[in-house]
Structure 1
């Protein structure tokens, strides 16, 4: 049975759906980020450092390994979210892993369409490599849109001749841009916010009228995942994007990639945002921390 603390996530998404339906959705980025970040408690013993010249934030837990890094890619449907909306979530994850994290911003639609987000993520990865961080000491992670980016950024980077990172931890990943998964029907009445038409609408905002939802740098389901490092996927049992996670796991397995998929019953999309508040979120974050340490060689 879902904890009462996890209800905050459901209420967050339910309020968002109501705002969409009533046409009162707040478009002020700072206020939106604040309301999203309210779901997450402030973790102790973490420093946040601006990165001069870059739209990025170093997240540095006390006593963290300095030569291992999580490259953190926020969610928000490619139209919202930022390093600020997700900094506390990624800080909880960095603490669980015992490493530094780099949370970045990327250009958002509709002002910036594909491939702007994935190219910005590749640029951040290239910058990390230029800081003498070894690729085998970097893991990509992100939620929702950022979860998909954690995979497509690897494919884009490889196409440009860059080495692959050690692995990836996408949670509630958005990878089925055509929204054809069966869970869009089976979880239609359980998901507090998302539905097929909304997701398809966001997809077309990202790619633009002349884009393709099957571009492998948009959807990794149509990319070659062969040779990627291990992937750990988490997903909520009540979200319509449940089959996105299953499809990604299946595609990775077919490509010979080591993959783990954990399903959390009764949880909503990106329920991990309740880290420090809900036991399910804390459990999920700790699982990621335990999984990623040996991947990073710790």
Structure 2
């Protein structure tokens, strides 16, 4: 195909996404943010991001190839998974080094944010302040990394809320629907402790979005009261990988992830569950009755089309879904400390203040 043909096809795909975004922006359901930097600063940021993306891509692909080579031996595969998870959680094995926020030590970084308890307060009495239940993405197969724990610490400080970073069973040992069932149980546990739905917000990044929104559907089906709102960072909501961004970004240097890595994780997680199951792929769900949802992402993200479809479906089903997206070359830009990440957290803080309804004391 000629260079002219390639450019024409690229323009067609851009226009398909652009027109949908324009409609969402016209109804104030999507907003684009530009990272403010000089020409030299933006060029350096693009160069660093592309280098980071290529490193992550190469490491992920090499690890997946190694994992596949162990598939013939259950013992070897289990040992490999155990070593990978331990190293990932401790920070010994990462795609890139973790960057600790200023003034934050390692011991603090590895500890989820907790508000100080008043010794005179009875154990079951809860604070009449917002609390965020957070699940970190790890492709459904990995525990939270140090970088994600650091990000949640900065997030908690920025929004001045207690954040509970909760665990879930991991695939492939515990495939779907174990993870959303675990998260739903965590939410119900908060209610049993005396927290009110009006005080609770749910949040997640990447694959954690599928887990959270699957849990919301389970809670809704069982007649439980739903939380005040949901915040999603670079959400992965379509395990069928049917959005255009999965194709365009897989061929781009702007994304560290490719369809191969996403398909590998989705297969381990879903097993025999259809990829279009609404509980696993929320882009196919009926969003009627869901709480307000705020999505933060990058226009270069592999999952960008998921964000657009969630907003379009929300508009169709009467659910308030809003997108803030940046012209950042970073996937999950909040994971590294930057002005864009600080801006993202400020927008989340405004969202919480807008939708928080203090429950009875």
- TM-score, L = length of structure 2: 0.71
In structure 2, runs of 5+ residues without a counterpart are 1-36, 68-79, 118-126
Alignment map for 1:194-213 (pairs within 5 Å):
194-208=257-271, 210-213=272-275
- Alignment partner of 2:113: what SS? strand
1:11 to partner: Cα distance: 4.9
Shift of 1:43: 6.8
Query: Is there any run of 5+ residues in structure 1 with no aligned partner, and where?
Result: 51-56
Which structure 2 residues correspond to residues 223-242 of structure 1 after superposition, within 5 A?
223-242=285-304
Instruction: Looking at secondary structure, tell me which structure has more strand per residue.
Output: 1
Whether contact under 8 Å (2:172, 2:269) holds in the other structure is yes
Which secondary structure state, in structure 2, belongs to the residue aligned with residue 121 of structure 1? helix
TM superposition shift of 1:6: 8.3
Alignment partners' CA distance in 2, 1:140 and 1:20: 28
Kindly indicate whether the alpha-carbon contact (under 8 Å) linking 1:70 and 1:100 is maintained by their aligned counterparts in 2. Answer: yes
Which residue number in structure 1 is paired with residue 240 of structure 2?
A: 178
Normalized per residue, which structure has more helix? 2
For residue 219 of structure 1, what is the aligned residue in structure 2?
Answer: 281
Q: Structure 2 matches for 1:1-298, cutoff 5 A?
A: 2=42, 11-23=51-63, 27-33=83-89, 34=91, 35=94, 38-41=98-101, 59-60=113-114, 67-82=129-144, 86-187=148-249, 188-208=251-271, 210-274=272-336, 277-297=337-357
Task: Report the equivalent of 1:54.
Answer: none
CA gap 1:153/1:197 in 2 versus in 1, 3 angstroms: same
> How far is the alpha carbon of 1:66 from its aligned partner?
5.6
Q: Tell me: CA distance 1:48–1:163, structure 2 relative to 1, closer, same or farther (3 Å).
A: farther
Say if 2:53 and 2:253, in contact at 8 Å, map to a contact too: no
Structure-2 separation of matches of 1:42 and 1:15: 25
Cα 1:75–1:10 shift into 2, 3 Å: farther
CA RMSD of aligned residues (A): 2.9
TM-score of the pair, normalised by structure 1: 0.85
Structure possessing the higher radius of gyration over alpha carbons: 2
Query: Who is 1:53 aligned against?
Result: none
Q: CA deviation at 1:85?
A: 5.0
SS for the counterpart of 1:129 is helix
- Equivalent pair of 2:214/2:278 in contact (CA under 8 Å): yes
